[in-house]
Amino acid sequence: MAMTRFETLLMHNPLRRLQQEKGTLPAFATLGATLAGGHVLEPGCGDGVGAELLIRVAQARRVDGFDIDRRELKKAQARAQRQRLPIHLWRGDIQHIATPQALYDAVVCFGVLHHAEDWRAALRELYRVLRPGGQLCLEESYAAFILHPFWRRLMAHPTRDRFDGPLLLAELAALGFARIREQRIGQAFGLIVCQKP
C-alpha cells in the first residue's frame, strides 16, 4: 500500500534518516544482526536513504531494493547513481518478491511489513528469499499504533488483521525462524532480528 502525503513527509524528514542511522541500525546490531559484507534486500526502499545507510553505516557489500511507488523508486535510483553505490533497484511488491529463493544474506525492512494487506504472505516471501543462516531485521509499527484513531486519519494502512508484538513473533516462529529477538517500544513499535536456520 502506498504512503499518504503525510507519511511521505515523515519518511523524507532528515530526522527519519538520523533515527535509522543512530537508532534502528545500532539496535539491530545489539539484537545480533550482522550485515557487514552481506548481500542485503530492502523491501519498500522508498527514496533510497535506507539502502544508502545499509552500505555506508552497516557496511553491506550490496543492496537490492524495491518499492511499489514509482516516484519514490526514481528518487532512489537517482541517489544510487549519483553516489555510485552498489544498489540494484526495481518496482515490486513485498507479497510477491521477484527474485530466486535463498538469495540474500539479510533482509532489512524499515517499517514496511505493516503496509502489506497480507502480511503473512509477505513474511513467507521474506523467509523464501533468505539463504540458510540469513537474517531478517524488522522495524515495525504494531496494531496499537496502526489502529489508533488519530493516526488512522493521517496514514493509509490496512486495518484488517493487524499484528502486535506477540502475534508477529509467533508467526515468525511458525515459519521456522530461529534466534528471534525483539526490542519493543511500548505497545506501538518493535525491532526484531531473527535467523533462517
Query: Which domains does the chain carry?
Result: 5-195 (3.40.50.150)
DSSP state of 4: P
Q: What pTM was computed for the model?
A: 0.92
Q: What is the DSSP string of 137-152?
A: EEEEE-HHHHT-HHHH
pLDDT band at 154, cuts 50/70/90?
low
Q: At what angle do helices 70-83 and 49-56 cross, to 10 degrees?
A: 30
What per-residue confidence (pLDDT) applies to 3? 64
pLDDT tens per residue, range 75-120: 999 999 999 999 999 999 999 999 999 999 999 999 999 999 999 9
Give the separation between CA 122 and CA 113, rounded to whole angstroms. 7
pLDDT tens per residue, range 16-60: 999 999 999 999 999 999 999 999 999 999 999 999 999 999 999
> Which of 164, 172, 157 is closest to 140 using CA atoms?
164
| Radius of gyration of the chain from its Cα atoms, rounded to whole angstroms | 15
